[in-house]
Amino acid sequence: MSRTLGVLISGRGSNLQAILNAIAEGSLDARVGVVVSNKAEAQGLERAAKAGVQAVVLPHKDYDSREAFDEAVLARLKEYDVDVVCLAGFMRLLSPVLVRAFPGRILNIHPSLLPAFVGLHAQRQALEYGVKVSGCTVHVVDEELDHGPILLQAPVPVEEGDTEESLSARILEQEHKLYPQAIQMVLDGEMRVDERKVVAI
Ligand code: GRF
């Protein structure tokens, strides 16, 4: 598999930054071909510019349907010959238009140990539930929210007195290590998806 990533963002872009850093340090053997943001104000766009990476803004509100938006995203990913798509804080549910165009090659990072705490505010959900360990998950994207086969997970302890901010920061540190590692795994073809499980080959 060749090694061009497309990174989809909506905001801060710290996971995009972690991917760019891992590439610069040589621990991730890939290039970011294009960053696509559905928000013009996303801070991640500045990170892309700083790294000299192409970035495109596609405001989802400009499109009549989820599918029409995904068609536009797909066209950009194809234009830049993307092999693997990385969702990095991308706040849009993908339709089958995108999921089926990149079978097994769209990854997402989520700030909980899935299948616990899907959706928004996963760290707040973890605190409210009272778990003692949370963490982060990189998984292959399917058509359900935060649901596809799990590639890698990292546990993170919940500490006495944690707030949403402090727990999020501790999890984020692990996210930044885990995501480049999982991407490299996929690029190396060290896994295949069997039913809903990712198995080593
Ligand atoms: C991360 O916590 C990620 O797990 C979740 O959204 C957040 C994105 O942060 N999907 P950033 O934009 O990468 O800084």
Give me the tens of pLDDT residue by residue for the chain, a chain 201 residues long: 459 999 999 999 999 999 999 999 999 999 999 999 999 999 999 999 999 999 999 999 999 999 999 999 999 999 999 999 999 999 999 999 999 999 999 999 999 999 999 999 999 999 999 999 999 999 999 999 999 999 999 999 999 999 999 999 999 999 999 999 999 999 998 777 777 788 877
Other C-beta atoms within 10 Å of 190: how many?
13
The range of the structural domain enclosing residue 83 comes to: 1-102
The residue whose CA has the least distance to atom 1 of ligand 1 is 89
Ligand 1 atom with least separation from CA of 42? 12
14-25 helix and 164-187 helix, angle to the nearest 10 degrees: 40
Domain termination residue (choose one: 72, 102, 132): 102
Q: Is 176 a residue of the active site?
A: no
User: Do 114 and 57 reside in the same domain of the chain?
Assistant: no
Per residue in 87-103, pLDDT tens? Answer: 999 999 999 999 999 99
AA identity, residue 200: A
Residue 51 sits in the same domain as residue 138 = no
Same domain, 91 and 5: yes
Amino acid at 73: V
Nearest of 17, 18, 24, 19 to residue 5 by alpha carbon: 19
* Domain shared by 128 and 187, yes or no: yes
Reported pTM = 0.96
**Marked catalytic residue, from 110, 121, 139, 176:** 110
* 158: amino acid identity, one letter: V
Query: Which of 64, 83, 102 is the last residue before a domain boundary?
Result: 102
Q: Is 54 exposed, middle or buried (0-12, 13-18, 19+ CB in 10 A)?
A: middle
Containing 190, the helix (H) or strand (E) segment is: none
CA distance 84 to 151: 14
Contact residues of ligand 1, CB 6 A cut-off: 11-15, 88-89, 109-111, 172, 175
What is the per-residue pLDDT across 61-94, written as a single tens digit (0 to 9) for each?
999 999 999 999 999 999 999 999 999 999 999 9
Q: Count of domains in the chain?
A: 2
Nearest atom within ligand 1 for CA of residue 90: 10
Identify residue 122 by its one-letter amino acid code: A
Atom of ligand 1 nearest to the CA of 123: 2
Same domain membership, residue 74 and residue 96: yes
CATH number at residue 52: 3.40.50.170
Domain boundary residue, one of 102, 135, 155: 102
Q: Name the residue with the closest Cα to ligand 1, atom 10.
A: 89
